[in-house]
């Protein structure tokens, strides 16, 4: 009896490991490619990460509908596609958000992250490794500033992890990998390392021939949505499974007869040529490495400016809350003067007016003055710390990395093929240098303004002590000339905020001597911009970021033009009347490496085999029910399929007649499992 039980157990193809309840229905599940981790997406748009023993590691909720999920090939990052077209990258260790990318205009329905298994080599076969020269001249890249008392959500930062921005910086040390994403509108986006966009196509805009139908006619897809995308492991081609209408190129949908239109609706398989990723892998790898690191540094600069503006605004709000009450006091006493004039009269010793006396003794007081002085002084120190520890190092490294891109762009023999334009990179390099000059100018302005405030506060402290003789503390020292300068120029103005603000109509005023020195520097350095000092620090950063995006848009466009559709194969038709009821079509695409010669394991004897698997819908054919179809090698089975299509006169009916032994066993196992 025991031997019989052992024989029964040995024949069971599947064994149930766990039977655990989940609070909500599971709609997506993906295994980690490297670890015993399972990511689940529930109907209420939550992501659950479990180990194989069902230990839950973390749960996150993006707050939006999740439509797709995939892992990075090394299993350390998970990509999440959302209904609004956003792609989120999360750290597998703690679920923290690493990056949010908006590449699509409609819902992301499929994701595929593929890594090149071959390391880059030179012509002699040696291994080429990229050396990051930044570490020779600079310390490690700064982190996103985290200042006490600042809520990160208020400045646009969604993650409180110190290493969130740097989580993807090591992508350049990994193998060359590309994230492919398809949306409901028919667009497919390609991103190197998942963060550097390098190409985008729309299947509606492509024209192609379908040898199975007519070798002389070109076709287009209309009203098509993407279901699956799969990039081959050698990066040479991409298989796209799309559901829509196949129409002749140049014909409008309304001119097609209903009977013909019914036969054109169904699931189609497209073969896209992506060999540009293989041919230009070395160039794309180097450009993407620099560009992705610059993008990380942009986040540091953007967060630094936001925190600096908030910290200084808080200090100035404390200052104005107290000192703005002086104007009503002056009006209540029937005086026709300004606070600056009253303070100047007090400084000159001419008189101490009642409103000034009441303001200093009652409204402000020595404790209130100390609080305001401390707030302004702390804000100045925090801004200086952010500039020195975060902003300035980030800008310096950005300038160096853009300079490296400039060097690559001058190597026209290799990098002009991917569209790296030298003139546009030069513009971005110039803007990076201008931003660095602006940062140095901001530090000088900040130091002067904070010193002027403290000198003004020291004078007010002495005045308060004189008006309150019971105070035994010695009066602080001050400079009367600096008090006059402060009252004339800084009491109502705020040059620090002006340099940080992003207002469109704000123009920073500069003196004539500085203007002349800058013009001489521009002429001597060969730059084209002499008015950058009239812009704010934030505007200067936006200008540099725009120039960088403009320069990198050319490779994006150049690579997109080199991705085209090689072939299309109709898989099965759907009745036009029932198209709206077909919401989901189970389908998948997989690759594996096969050895042509069993006795040899050389790389030249290997090939990639692709398998397309899909379930035939019950409304496709009256005589076919619950069929699972497996097609092997899309580009090699069309000869056999053409004979089937002509014999049965069925458009879009793909059914593999000759299956190998293991395919037959696979279908048998599936049927047993379903039963």
Q: Supply the mean pLDDT for the chain.
A: 77
Distance from C-alpha of 236 to C-alpha of 234, rounded to nearest angstrom: 5
Residue 220 buriedness (CB in 10 A; 0-12 / 13-18 / 19+):
buried
Q: Are 179 and 111 in contact (CB under 8 A)?
A: yes
Residue 512 buriedness (CB in 10 A; 0-12 / 13-18 / 19+):
exposed
CA 430 to chain centre: 25
pLDDT over threshold 70, residue 431 = yes
Q: Provide the 3-class DSSP secondary structure of residue 249.
A: coil
pLDDT over threshold 90, residue 353 = no
Chain segment 513-544, per-residue pLDDT in tens = 767 777 777 766 666 666 677 788 888 899 99
Chain segment 454-469, per-residue pLDDT in tens = 999 999 988 888 887 6
Q: Are 471 and 369 in contact (CB under 8 A)?
A: no
Give the pLDDT of residue 626.
67
Q: Are 48 and 20 in contact (CB under 8 A)?
A: no
Residue 268 β-bridge partners: 242, 570
CA 440 to chain centre: 29
pLDDT over threshold 70, residue 624 = no
Q: Provide the 3-class DSSP secondary structure of residue 217.
A: strand
- Angle of helix 537-561 relative to helix 392-409, nearest 10 degrees, comes to 30
pLDDT over threshold 60, residue 125 = no
Q: pLDDT class for 199, splitting at 50, 70, 90? A: very high
Chain segment 38-97, per-residue pLDDT in tens = 999 998 889 999 888 888 888 988 888 999 999 998 888 999 999 999 999 998 888 888
Name the range with the highest mean pLDDT among 169-178, 227-236, 350-359. Answer: 227-236
Q: Are 234 and 222 in contact (CB under 8 A)?
A: no
pLDDT over threshold 70, residue 162 = no
How many helices (H) and strands (E) in the chain?
Answer: 18, 20
pLDDT over threshold 50, residue 159 = no
pLDDT over threshold 50, residue 594 = yes
Chain segment 238-252, per-residue pLDDT in tens = 989 888 888 876 654
Give the pLDDT of residue 568.
80
Q: Are 261 and 563 in contact (CB under 8 A)?
A: no
Calculate mean pLDDT across residues 268-283: 89
Residue 137 CB-half CA count within 13 A: 11
- Angle of helix 537-561 relative to helix 281-323, nearest 10 degrees, comes to 160
Q: How many angstroms separate the Cα of 81 from the Cα of each of 16, 27, 588?
A: 30, 13, 18
Chain segment 200-250, per-residue pLDDT in tens = 999 888 777 666 666 677 777 888 888 889 998 888 889 898 888 888 766
Q: pLDDT class for 157, splitting at 50, 70, 90? A: very low
Q: pLDDT class for 267, splitting at 50, 70, 90? A: confident
CA angle 514, 310, 498 (to 5 degrees): 25
Give the pLDDT of residue 633.
62
Q: Provide the 3-class DSSP secondary structure of residue 598.
A: coil
Distance from C-alpha of 44 to C-alpha of 34, rounded to nearest angstrom: 27
Ranges of beta strands (E only) in 123-273 are 177-183, 187-192, 196-202, 208-210, 214-231, 237-248, 265-273
CA neighbor of 619 nearest in space, from 266, 350, 201: 266
Domain boundaries, the chain: 304-406+423-537
CA neighbor of 535 nearest in space, from 567, 503, 582: 503
pTM: 0.78
> Between 530 and 254, whose confidence is greater?
530
Distance from C-alpha of 592 to C-alpha of 602, rounded to nearest angstrom: 16
Tell me the two tokens of residue 648. 């049965």
Q: pLDDT class for 170, splitting at 50, 70, 90? A: low
Q: What are the backbone dihedrals phi and psi of residue 603, each rounded to the nearest 5 degrees, phi first?
A: -60, -30
Give the pLDDT of residue 577.
47
pLDDT over threshold 90, residue 393 = yes
- Name every residue whose Cβ is closer than 8 Å to that of residue 440 and which is 6 or more positions away in sequence: none
pLDDT over threshold 90, residue 584 = no
Q: Are 563 and 199 in contact (CB under 8 A)?
A: yes
pLDDT over threshold 50, residue 640 = no
- Identify the weakest region by mean pLDDT among 153-157, 295-299, 538-542: 153-157
Residue 84: count of CB within 10 angstroms of its CB:
14
């Amino acid at each position: 009896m025991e031997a019989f039980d052992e024989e029964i157990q040995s024949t069971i193809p599947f064994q149930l490991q766990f039977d655990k309840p989940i609070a909500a229905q599971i709609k997506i599940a993906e295994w980690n490619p490297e670890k015993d981790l399972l990511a689940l997406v529930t109907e209420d748009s939550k992501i659950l990460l479990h180990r194989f023993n069902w230990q839950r590691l973390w749960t996150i909720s993006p707050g939006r509908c999740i439509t797709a999920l995939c892992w990075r090939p090394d299993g350390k990052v998970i990509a999440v596609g959302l209904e609004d077209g956003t792609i989120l990258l999360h750290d597998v260790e703690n679920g923290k958000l690493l990056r949010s990318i908006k590449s699509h205009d409609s819902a992301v329905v499929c994701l595929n992250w593929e890594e090149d298994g071959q390391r880059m080599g030179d012509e002699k076969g040696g291994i080429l490794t990229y050396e990051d020269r930044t570490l020779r001249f600079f310390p490690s890249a700064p982190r996103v500033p985290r200042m006490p008392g600042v809520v990160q959500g208020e400045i646009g930062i969604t993650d409180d992890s110190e290493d969130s921005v740097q989580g993807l910086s090591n992508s350049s040390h990994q193998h060359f990998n590309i994230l492919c994403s398809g949306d409901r509108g028919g667009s497919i986006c390609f991103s190197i390392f998942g963060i550097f966009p390098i190409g985008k196509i729309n299947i509606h805009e492509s024209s192609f021939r379908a040898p199975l139908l007519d070798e002389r006619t070109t076709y287009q897809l209309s009203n098509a949505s993407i279901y699956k995308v799969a990039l081959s492991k050698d990066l040479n081609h991409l298989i796209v499974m799309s559901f829509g209408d196949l129409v002749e190129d140049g014909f409008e949908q309304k001119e097609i007869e209903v009977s013909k239109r019914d036969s054109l609706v169904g699931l189609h398989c497209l073969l896209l040529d992506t060999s540009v990723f293989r041919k230009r892998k070395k160039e794309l790898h180097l450009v993407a490495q620099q560009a992705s690191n610059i993008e990380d540094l942009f986040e540091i600069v953007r967060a630094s400016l936001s925190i600096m503006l908030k910290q200084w605004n808080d200090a100035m709000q404390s200052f104005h809350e107290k000192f703005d009450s002086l104007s009503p006091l002056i009006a209540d006493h029937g005086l026709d003067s300004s606070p600056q004039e009253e303070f100047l009269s007090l400084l000159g010793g001419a008189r101490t007016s009642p409103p000034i006396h009441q303001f200093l003794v009652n409204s402000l007081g020595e404790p209130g003055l100390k609080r305001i002085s401390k707030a302004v002084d702390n804000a100045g120190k925090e801004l200086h710390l952010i500039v020195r520890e975060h902003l300035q190092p980030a800008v310096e490294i950005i300038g160096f990395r853009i300079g490296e891109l400039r060097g690559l762009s001058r190597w026209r023999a290799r990098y002009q093929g991917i569209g790296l334009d030298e003139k546009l990179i030069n513009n971005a390099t110039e803007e990076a240098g201008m931003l660095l000059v602006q940062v140095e100018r901001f530090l000088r302005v900040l130091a002067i303004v904070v010193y002027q405030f403290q000198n003004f506060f020291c004078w007010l402290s002495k005045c308060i002590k004189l008006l309150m003789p019971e105070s035994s503390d010695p009066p602080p020292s001050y400079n009367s000339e600096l008090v006059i300068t402060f009252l004339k120029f800084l009491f109502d103005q705020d040059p620090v905020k002006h340099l940080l603000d992003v207002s469109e109509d704000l123009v920073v005023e500069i003196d004539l001597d500085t203007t002349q020195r800058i013009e001489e520097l521009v002429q001597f350095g060969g730059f084209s911009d002499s008015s950058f000092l009239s812009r704010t620090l934030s505007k200067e950063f936006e200008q540099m970021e725009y120039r960088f995006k403009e320069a990198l848009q050319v490779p994006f466009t150049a690579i997109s033009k080199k991705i085209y559709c090689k072939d299309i194969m109709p898989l099965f038709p759907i009745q036009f009347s029932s198209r709206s009821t077909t919401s989901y079509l189970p389908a998948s695409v997989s690759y594996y490496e096969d050895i042509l010669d069993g006795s040899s394991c050389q790389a030249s004897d290997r090939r990639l085999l692709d398998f397309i698997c899909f379930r035939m819908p019950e409304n496709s054919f009256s005589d076919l029910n619950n069929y699972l179809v497996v097609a092997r090698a899309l580009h090699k089975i069309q000869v056999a399929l053409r004979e089937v299509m002509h014999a049965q006169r069925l458009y879009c009916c793909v059914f593999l007649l000759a299956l190998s032994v293991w395919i037959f066993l696979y279908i048998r196992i599936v049927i047993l499992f379903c039963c």
